[in-house]
Structure 1
């Protein structure tokens, strides 16, 4: 038994139970404090796991987490500025007006593509759509952020936050694909270019870091930390993905998954700051930290440069009245088209046809804009009629599945025609499209 205990460090690294430093495989003495690994192991084997956990906790969790607090303050500060721009009304706390979200840097693909507003890949991680949104995200940051900052150090933590936040916005940007936002695709893809904002992409990135950290270093971690990280993060991930599934079409799941994946990749590539190591951050990481902070600062400077004067209360509280007759007709036309698409989704995915007849009637009464728009409108009416018939069909499952697949393909082709019209002739009406509610990350 004693011989087996003496050689217990031969196969893998372990922690010095005197100071918490890493002891290499096969070493019998800690290089930091000089304590004998064999003696520390044989004194009280039964208490070793608890002592090991306590020493690791003292060595790691006593580290400062000042940048977590700085991020909390920064997000809340931006939120208060947005509330002020919204007129400081109680109604605005539950839903900021879209002009305010845009002014403070929310993501909108059309502005990135057409006006090269690249900073909207960075600023959305500090912008939130309402009070519950910012409170939930900041509570999550308060829970998860300190662990990542203490394990990896402040420099790596800031780099992780910015990179995973950007990755989440990029994923949101790439998944505006109306043709794919049908059926199960609605979980990931968006049917239109909607506003998107929130810190959830970066938060999922931190969760991804902890998940991979626990698995990657499972042989080094004390038993108590193995249970907390790694597979211990799976319930959090699965619960949030389930919530995202329930809120598909409203919650930006692409941003969440983009942040989660990028955080996992970073944790695979980057080591954490082990107990006993000198608290000197490599120069390269200091440079990256400064670069990340500078990128955020420049992005908000660009936002300020493009920030129009604070919105007057009239614009915050009510929509701008449309006085142009062409624009008025377009708004009515676009609403009918949006309602028709929603009815089609419900019929194709959930076999709910109650909204089809009202949608068809609304399309029939929608104003005529031009021959091409009228043809697209009639095509949508035909698709709705087919979707209703398919839902009521008594054919066998294989035939129904084939019809639904054909419907989905035809709707995809129709979406391309409609989006092409929006980008060309639709511009002449002064509005590209009727925006859906902003999508929180």
Structure 2
């Protein structure tokens, strides 16, 4: 049951406002974030009941991994949160219910950041079951104007403003003040429940600074074109999530990739672990490491790593004394019978929610038949950003998309 909140919680909303938007909210950026959760009306086999159930379960799961003791649900208890049609704005109050579930999609919404923040209210719940009940009873609030923003405020309020600030460890706003995109801290918060800044596994010490990454294997994954450009290193926790679902990041936009092949997220084999660890000491992707890193690789794999043994192996693996050890030579020596948990062929499905990024401006799923080639060499094609970002996860992947239509990352 919802309880009356102390004024301190209401005041915290002001801090959340500043954390998200910075010192000034640009109306155009605020308008882009003022979205509703839409019905997937283009999927005829998915009933509205199933859609609502899936949406509420997903939102509750996000809140559950963020909240510590209480769940704060931010809402607008006014008609301000309802969609307003263009006809109504022009003074025509006639019934437009014929639009049915598409009414929200066809509405021209009045966007007012000042009034939005003045009208915010908060419910407090102690149990996630009560949160679910509230959302089921108020599902239309999620599908009305500001549904996405209200949930975002609920996540930060439930996590705690100071905790989010501490984890993100930055003075920058979570929504870029110039371009309006969500920061990596915001993405990490929504996926993992922690607003860390980096996407590598665990924390890393860089020049005496402790830089926080991903704490554990996430429910869904994340891969990004920025790794190809070497702006970041995505760790195994994000690349190998619990479920075969990945958020894909381009330079400008987030989309979703998923598969019905559960083996894509099977536990690593010993040889797969060895390749991953070896490559973690090869950040440039050259498929070799300097010989002086061999001991670290062996130690990370719980193999014999005494100095005398390491020196013997250095001479064997680097017989020409070049100062490097090739990946293939390392694998042939320590893991000659390589096993793979990933099938050679599988189906991938991509979803981009922007109508203008889809064929004929119609939002739809794109299905592709993926195959993992035997060669370690990958084809670099910068004109194909979809393949480029997939290769950060599967270096030797090729995908044939249905109807030869390449889905857009942007």
- Alignment TM-score, normalising by the size of structure 1: 0.22
Q: State the TM-score, normalizing by the size of structure 2.
A: 0.23
Higher-strand-fraction structure: 2
Of structures 1 and 2, the one with the larger relative CO (CA 8 A, separation 6+) is: 1
Q: Which has the higher helix share?
A: 1
